[in-house]
Structure 1
């Protein structure tokens, strides 16, 4: 099953979320107008999104983009599981992936060989908890990766990725004058953002680094 990239459009909840967040939060009241015409975008289909997330785990954004380009060069822009599975671990390592990531990419490809998993509508029909549980069954996919999938593919409105170092850095910068921030402190700050924690997180990412907000 192929996938054509959707036209960019704002999630239906985005405008309301921005209004609510600007009323509740002094930092977001300043940030949102600066980037108000932008929003989280679903750049790829479910398989492509998850592969890009896996490839980008625990490495720099520049290296993650480079490795992604290598995979696209090998399998085309419409990167599909069947193409990935025609490559061995050695082939993927020759493209620059570590052994672990090569294994994770192949495991994800096997998972997405099931037609329903490649169907965006199938994912849209699942709730957040079910998606987290299903994705975390794939080797190499943990909570952070599943949360990125919820945000950047499904654009769910209320995801708070406290394992994301870029988000913690943004919270530290804007709310704690650059002092280190714990997950507990970040969660306390984010209480005022519910049920729009995805939107708040996105604007905080965007304020620090535009390249950090796409998968």
Structure 2
């Protein structure tokens, strides 16, 4: 995988600090946070499916098996693999089936992943959640960590909620409050997400 770093700079940092005093203090404490991204949409999607509801350690191990087996995670290299062969990498039958369906759609040109770059966030979400095994959270993670969309704040992410709760000292965040935070961070909510995750991972 050709990993890169999510691209943002002083403009985004200055905007968020000006918009929110509490977030500004977090940004000052951490400095610039770098997050790795995988610009290859197919391998990123496969990786997201593999990583659903398993530990980081298990995810890393299975990712290594895929790379050992296929050399590179491309639709061409995986096209002739059966669901059973994919499952042997250490994933569930359902996940293997979803990866096989994704591969077939790309190989048969039913799905043009590169076309996603020309769509709005809402349109990308609609296309991706129409795929088996891809829900809203998974689609948002692809938009953030592969497509580098600048305004992603995932309501379905527990780490984001934990970060908001800690920064703003609230016991929970309602849907309406979440929307208000997102509006406050717009158009750079993706960068805000990095700091929320950082706070969420702090030891209590």
Which range, TM-score by smaller chain? 0.7 to 0.9
8 Å Cα contact 1:40-1:155 kept in structure 2: no
Q: CA deviation at 1:44?
A: 4.0
Call closer, same or farther: CA 1:209–1:92 in 2, change over 3 Å.
farther
Residue 100 in structure 1 maps to residue 97 in structure 2: no
Identify the residue that residue 21 of structure 1 maps to in structure 2: 16
- SS of corresponding position for 1:144: helix
Do the aligned partners of residues 209 and 74 (structure 1) sit closer, same or farther apart at CA in structure 2, a change above 3 Å counting? farther
Number of equivalent positions? 201
Find the residue that maps to 1:112 and give its secondary structure: helix
- Counterparts of 2:86 and 2:181 in 1: how far apart (Å)? 41
Indicate whether 1:85 and 2:79 are aligned. yes
Q: TM (normalized to structure 1)?
A: 0.81
The unaligned stretches of length 5 or more in structure 2 are none
**1:66 corresponds to 2:58:** no
In the superposition, the TM-score normalised over structure 2's length comes to 0.85
* Counterparts in 2 of 1:9 and 1:63: CA distance versus 1, 3 Å: closer
Give me the whole-angstrom Cα distance separating, in 2, the residues matched to 1:63 and 1:48: 17
Kept after mapping to 1: 8 A contact 2:41/2:146 = yes
CA RMSD of aligned residues (A): 2.5
Are 1:132 and 1:147, in contact at CA under 8 Å, matched by a contact in 2? yes
**Aligned partners of 2:185 and 2:192 also within 8 Å:** yes
What's the CA shift for 1:9? 6.4
